[in-house]
Structure 1
Amino acid sequence: MSVQTIPTKPFEGQKPGTSGLRKRTKVFSQPHYVENFIQATLDSFPNGTPKSLVVGGDGRYFSVPAIQSIIRVAAGNGVQKLIIGQNGILSTPAVSHLIRLHSTDGGILLTASHNPGGPEADFGIKANLSSGQPAGENVTDAIYKKTTTIQEYKAVQGGEVDLSKVGDTKHGNLSISVVDSVSDYIQYLSTIFDFDLIKQFLQSGSFTVRFDALHGVTGPYGRALFIDAFGLPESAIQNCVPSPTFNGGHPDPNLTYAKSLVDAVEKENISFGAASDGDGDRNMIIGKGAFVNPSDSVAIIAEWASKGVIPYFNKSGGVKGLARSMPTSGALDRVAKEHNLPFFEVPTGWKFFGNLMDAGKLSICGEESFGTGSDHIREKDGLWAVVAWLSILAAANKEKPGTSVQDVLQAHYQKYGRNFFSRYDYEEVDSAGAKTLMDDLAAKFGDASFAGSKLGEFEVKSGELFEYKDPVDGSVSKNQGHMITFVDGSRIIFRLSGTGSAGATIRLYVEKYSKDPSEYAADAQVGLKPLIDQALALSQLQKHTGRDKPTVIT
């Protein structure tokens, strides 16, 4: 099994976005396509070709053939060891944990996260660094540059490696360890949270749970957690058999795509519902009559962590700091101020949190796109957030039996007020129209008369393109979103997302703060409608995109 040099030529558009390279599966399945991208990736690691890597993904269609290609190219480039999840399965949080646990040089993940999977749907590849966090722009830019000039890649040809059996094997000089996909991660969670307290709470009364993996990677993790660790009945989980096509569904944990869970919670009077996405890094929390907006969720987790309900933080000197992405509501800001904690507002992308964590400045963070996490790893972690909420509910019920998800929400609003928040997603719109919309907004912001003008009842304080200077490495990230801030603290934000695989995705965010208790139980869409109407009128979104309604509202 000797190293071969395979002639190739560049493919157009192999530019990684916020979370790696995402394209239609048919694009990835072209001869040499995966190999080109992996060669460029291995050539772009900060400290040279990695010696050891963790490899795994969400099990979507084309994952196993892609992993076999990775094995061949890794062997051809002198990589010494790969740690691969059984059957190619590893959640994104589990990959980050294994990178850190085994001190590897990084990882390669096969996932398109919350996007659909299948031969006609999406596939993705991304690189993580030795810290466990996604590769930053310096690495992804280097990868893209190499893909534009690549003329050859190195590989060791040979038979396919059996990924179905846990154990060690070789491919040329490359050592391969196929590992159990679930056990290390669940064991780690048990050191972060008080599993005994949670189990005792869940088995002590009428509190019921339903976890929905949406046929994604967290199915086996959910079974190990809710059935094996917490001793709950089979009715506590649904859609927990991973499927290469996510059973034809859209593995995005929101009110639209997790409707079967939402309906079950209401119809069956389930106390607590939770869902995760295709690769396990996102989460949705609901209860009977209650939806926990992700912006509120991270704020509530931070509040209760500061009160000592998560042992991990108690053992590590307490909560060091809090952070959110720029589009995420300001609910977390108020918790940081109350507890006198350092606070950071960063661009969308988990890599920005990772720098702060590595510098010891950050403990808990979140994004409005259903991503929540802490410095226990360097990725957002859906199951971590779910267990954090179970810890909160266990503690709250110890103080006052019968406390529900809605009760926890309302108690938080009574203390801090409510940041009404919603996001409108316009997926796969025409790229040219999306660009024109953004350019027109920038032109409006540049008009000196924009600040101080009125949009309906709302007075504009400022309009800006969000820019971030990293306090750790000094790097500057520009053009991260078009943000309008109003005098009363309300905000409208427009941003082009980098997580789609075709066309453009426009995300519209609207936020309004209220300190009026009579409004705390109101539906967010009703309270935000005047602001949403102004956002649509100002941007002329329908004109630029041809869309009269969003694909998804959260």
Structure 2
Amino acid sequence: MAIEFGTDGWRAVIADEFTFDNFKIVVQAIANYLNNNDKTDRGIFIGYDNRFLTEEFAQTAAEVLEGNGIEAIIAKEALPTPVTAFTIQEEELDGALMLTASHNPAQYHGIKFIPEYAGPALPEITDQIEEEVARVQKTNEINIKKLDNIKEIDPRAIYLDNLREVIDFSQFETGKLKILADPMYGAGLGYLTDIFSTTRIDTEEINNYRDPLFGGGMPEPTEAELTQLINKVKTEDYNIGLALDGDADRFGIITEEGEYLSPNQVLFLLLDHLLEDRGMTGGVARTVATTHMLDRIARKHDLDVYETPVGFKYIGNKMLKNDVIIGGEESGGLSIKGHIPEKDGLLACVLIVEMIMSRGKRLSKIIQEVEEKYGKLISERLDIECSPEQKPEVVKRIEEFDAEKIAEQKVIERITKDGMKFILEDGSWCLMRPSGTEPLIRIYVETSNHSLMSKIQSDVRERLKI
């Protein structure tokens, strides 16, 4: 069986491919990578989410690391991925293992390696780990040291203290707000109520206990999965709804009217806030699939825009190397200057509340004003199922896709950074790319109206024969 690292490590179905035997292979491969690169002096932190057998997998990871001469430090309780990443910086460690399948269904588990810079591992690191996985599978050389006691730490309070330095908490004393939070039974339980506990903001939680089945749904803060939160915010007089995915690195935002905001909308609202209300300076980092509203705002303020392939690992890398105010992706990840180079759903939620309090307006009104200032864009992603047998042929059509016009709009630029992206003469754009983790072809379109959106989607699908 081939074990491959996708955008965020290795994920598989528990008791099918995600077994203790295969898990030990992966941890041994990571230990080999650490030893090969002399990254064994400062220890490795092990964080984990609320999934089935997660504590047992964490114990096993510690025993494999210790068996390879690497100090293992384990979390006392389930932690969000951003808290795990923050702990690397706070404790000055060589990295961390995060045991999570993020927003995947309940039958999945996963593991990813977070390097010493506290952001997602880049391909040059995951490629080495994959090579070590293949080597361990051949040799079956796994070193294990049975442990009765493992060093434990609880970084929750320190992370929250640090977040209070990144966020302008003075805004939370200017008025009252009623928030409904949904951690979706995941690792973010209680974090949002703790963050606002010392302020005038009233925060209540739903789905705030551990359930490895995630209430029978998926721990993904999309409009389809947040119907309970949307209905309660709309009918019970809350000012905003905030949601987190299974490991709290992604977010969902609901207006006081019960409208779901896409991650693209949240990104451009927060960029406008950080520029206009905070006076921050620097560039903007976004993936090739993320809204160009960020570009419109950046142009008005004479800011650089850094476009990356899909995956927050590339955003995090830009934030490490460049002066970036905000970095984000359309799938729901963001971070800002002064914070870790890892996506953080908690940060996103608290920043939205900071913006509301700073402007003293309803969220729906703020959206209206920002879109009046910069113009409105409509973004949509189509996820089209594609069997493993079909996928190579469709990918070939994407690579060979060449057009002077799409939906009667002249093509003015062709970008091949990740998939095939076309910029059209009216500012619309479309991107075609295969998913790196699922049997899907994704088509992204952004334009100014629904009619043109449909025409572009139909034209592209017809040419790709999907």
If the TM-score is normalised by the length of the shorter chain, which range does it land in? over 0.9
* TM-superposed deviation, 1:364: 0.8
| Partner residue, 1:101 | 90
Select the residue among 108, 120, 125 that pairs with 1:122: 108
In 1, distance between residues paired with 2:304 and 2:18? 46
| Partner residue, 1:540 | 465
In 1, distance between residues paired with 2:348 and 2:442? 24
Query: Is 1:407 aligned to 2:365, yes or no?
Result: yes
Query: Is 1:192 aligned to 2:154, yes or no?
Result: no
What is the SS of the residue equivalent to 2:457? helix
| Partner residue, 1:264 | 232
1:149-548 equivalence runs, <5 A: 149-150=135-136, 151=139, 152-159=141-148, 169-170=149-150, 176=151, 178-180=152-154, 182-201=156-175, 203=176, 207-226=177-196, 228-230=197-199, 232-233=201-202, 236-289=204-257, 290-309=259-278, 318-375=280-337, 376-397=339-360, 403-426=361-384, 429-445=386-402, 450-451=403-404, 453=405, 455-464=406-415, 466-467=416-417, 480-500=418-438, 504-513=439-448, 528-541=453-466
* TM-superposed deviation, 1:416: 0.8
Name segments (4+ residues, structure 1) moved above 4 Å: 231-234
* TM-superposed deviation, 1:404: 1.2
In 2, distance between residues paired with 1:488 and 1:372? 28
* TM-superposed deviation, 1:412: 0.7
What is the SS of the residue equivalent to 1:113? coil
In 1, distance between residues paired with 2:73 and 2:451? 50
* TM-superposed deviation, 1:231: 5.4
1:285/1:292 contact within 8 Å kept: yes
Letter in structure 2 aligned against 1:215: Y
What is the SS of the residue equivalent to 1:133? coil
Compare 36-45 and 436-445 and name the one that shifted more. Answer: 436-445
1:182-229 deviation line (CA, Å, top 9, x unaligned): 21221111111232421442x2xxx43211111111112123124x23
In 2, distance between residues paired with 1:387 and 1:488? 35
In 1, distance between residues paired with 2:401 and 2:317? 34
What is the SS of the residue equivalent to 1:393? helix
1:112-133 deviation line (CA, Å, top 9, x unaligned): 111112xxx2111100111101
Count of residues in correspondence between the two structures: 459
2:48/2:58 contact within 8 Å kept: no
Larger radius of gyration: 1
In 2, distance between residues paired with 1:368 and 1:141? 25
What is the SS of the residue equivalent to 1:108? strand
Output the aligned Cα RMSD: 2.1
In 2, distance between residues paired with 1:509 and 1:94? 31
| Partner residue, 1:71 | 62
What is the SS of the residue equivalent to 1:116? coil
1:379-405 deviation line (CA, Å, top 9, x unaligned): 1111111111111111111xxxxx211
1:42/1:49 contact within 8 Å kept: no
Letter in structure 1 aligned against 2:64: V
In 1, distance between residues paired with 2:444 and 2:24? 38
Letter in structure 1 aligned against 2:168: D
What is the SS of the residue equivalent to 1:302? helix
* TM-superposed deviation, 1:148: 1.3
- Identity between Structure 1 and Structure 2 (%): 27
In 2, distance between residues paired with 1:19 and 1:181? 22
What is the SS of the residue equivalent to 2:323? coil
* TM-superposed deviation, 1:144: 0.8
Letter in structure 1 aligned against 2:166: I
| Partner residue, 2:26 | 37
1:492/1:509 contact within 8 Å kept: yes
* TM-superposed deviation, 1:29: 4.4
* TM-superposed deviation, 1:73: 0.6
* TM-superposed deviation, 1:273: 1.3
What is the SS of the residue equivalent to 1:156? coil
* TM-superposed deviation, 1:535: 3.0
Letter in structure 2 aligned against 1:50: T
In 2, distance between residues paired with 1:532 and 1:242? 40
What is the SS of the residue equivalent to 2:29? helix
1:105/1:130 contact within 8 Å kept: yes
What is the SS of the residue equivalent to 1:154? coil
In 1, distance between residues paired with 2:184 and 2:247? 10
What is the SS of the residue equivalent to 1:147? helix
In 2, distance between residues paired with 1:220 and 1:499? 30
1:222/1:240 contact within 8 Å kept: no
| Partner residue, 1:21 | 10
| Partner residue, 2:102 | 113
In 2, distance between residues paired with 1:333 and 1:33? 44
